Amino acid sequence: MTGLTAYTNARLIDPASKTDVGGAVLIEGNKIIDWGPALFSDGAPENVRIVDCRGYCLAPGLIDMRVHLPEPGGEHKESFETASAAAAAGGVTSIVCLPDAETPIDNISVLEFIARRARETNIVKIYAYGTITRERDGGELSEFGILNEAGALAFTDGDRALADALVMRRALSYAATFGFLIIQHPEEPRLARNGQMSEGEMATRLGLAGIPAVAEVMMIERDLRLVELTGARYHAAHVSTAAAIDAVRSAKARGLPVTCDTAPHYFTLNDTAVMDYRTFTKVSPPLRDETDRLAVIEGVRDGTIDVIASDHRPQDQDSKRLPFLQAETGIVGLETLLPLTLALNHERDIPLIDLIGCLTVAPAGLLDMKEGKLEAGLPADFTIFDPDRDWTVEASALQSKSKNTPFDDYAVKGMAMCTVVGGRHVHSLLD
């Protein structure tokens, strides 16, 4: 029985098995051995290490499927070490890097670099996407098969929309042959060009060029026609508008293999947050109006939105503390992903198990990952969190190297108390 650790007195939440019950988890080394409500009901053996979860929730480790990690080339904004520390502090055990660093992930050598740096960092698990097109230039397709064999979980051009319909058709056809997932940044680039925030009353008042909400749904609706043509798996990233969510909802009703995600800032903030030209609210796609924000919440509630991801995009002060037109887009989100998502339970009564599913089993299923559920024999990756812990976000205290968050001094509820990756405590307030 040596080398065994029992996590007792926990509220077990496992969306994969629809479990929400008091119980315990037993691990040995880096694997789950057993778990459930009956485990140790008569007490644990004396030679088992005990970790008292104090009644907190124990769920599969969170999986963040949208992380902009600028290394190599942008280490001054975020490194593997700082991103991993931020993930661990936020209860995230696995992150998936978007392929839009200075060196795009369009060849095996970059994937090998990421795998090596992940091993060297050895905090949370780090996975990666491959690009749809070489250099993300929207033209020649990348070698999907070779990249997948080297570890690419899916294919996307990151924060660039694949605008050419013929290239997208070829990508979807290629992907359909092997069952690969294509992830699109849904924004019609000509309509969005030079836009600074969402088009509407607030943009007019601030004198900023607007990006019309229709730019998002136009791209999705075009792509849905190509999905019908090819049968490929398609995922719309960070949906932010009511029209786009309606389009995905309709496509799912027709049986198309379509999914989507959103980010917490799209259901927490609206375009009024840009008031006074706050560059820390400049994101892509932009914050929308209140009608769209409420539509995102309903999309999460009814399951149209499959995944909630941080869309973590670190930017240094030199990139953000500029006039709004010159400032870079993006916010950090690894450490606020959990509490901002839990607000939908506290304030909107969306079931906790459903929200945790959006952060665990849903992204794992999309990306064919073994993580994302509690099951004997699987990796001991889980998060222990207090859903009711009140705290205030302090940008200066974030583990991320960059501090570009619009949630500085923002009151939240819900905190990761312990993050376990492969049986190791990579973050803990319990020890």
- % of the chain exceeding 70 in pLDDT: 100
Q: What is the pLDDT of residues 71-92, one digit of tens each?
A: 988 999 999 999 999 999 999 9
Q: Per the structure block, which two tokens stand in for 214?
A: 């229709």
| Whole-angstrom distance, CA of residue 194 vs CA of residue 327 | 12
Task: Tell me the longest C-alpha to C-alpha distance in the chain.
Answer: 68
Structure-block tokens of residue 270: 């609206």
Each residue's pLDDT tens digit, 230-286: 999 999 999 999 999 999 999 999 999 999 999 999 999 999 999 999 999 999 999
d(CA 289, CA 267): 10
Q: Show Cβ contacts of residue 66 under 8 Å, excluding neighbours closer than 6 positions.
A: 96, 98, 237, 238, 261, 263, 309, 310, 311, 312
Please state the rounded mean pLDDT for residues 412-426: 98
Ordered structural domains, the chain, with CATH: 61-366 (3.20.20.140)
Is 64 considered catalytic here? no
Report strand pairing: 62-67 vs 57-60: unpaired
Give the model confidence (pLDDT) of 134-158 as tens digits.
999 999 999 999 999 999 999 999 9
Asked if 8 contacts 38 with a C-beta cutoff of 8 angstroms, the reply is no
Long-range contact set of residues 303-306: C-beta below 8 Å, sequence gap at least 24: 303/354, 304/245, 304/248, 304/249, 304/252, 304/260, 305/239, 305/245, 305/248, 305/260, 305/261, 305/262, 305/358, 306/259, 306/260, 306/261, 306/358, 306/362, 306/366
Give me the amino acid identity at 369.
Answer: M
Find the catalytic residue in 292, 306, 311, 386: 311
Instruction: Tell me the one-letter amino acid at 372.
Output: G
Please give the Cα distance from 385 to 104 (Å, whole number): 35
The predicted model scores a pTM of: 0.97
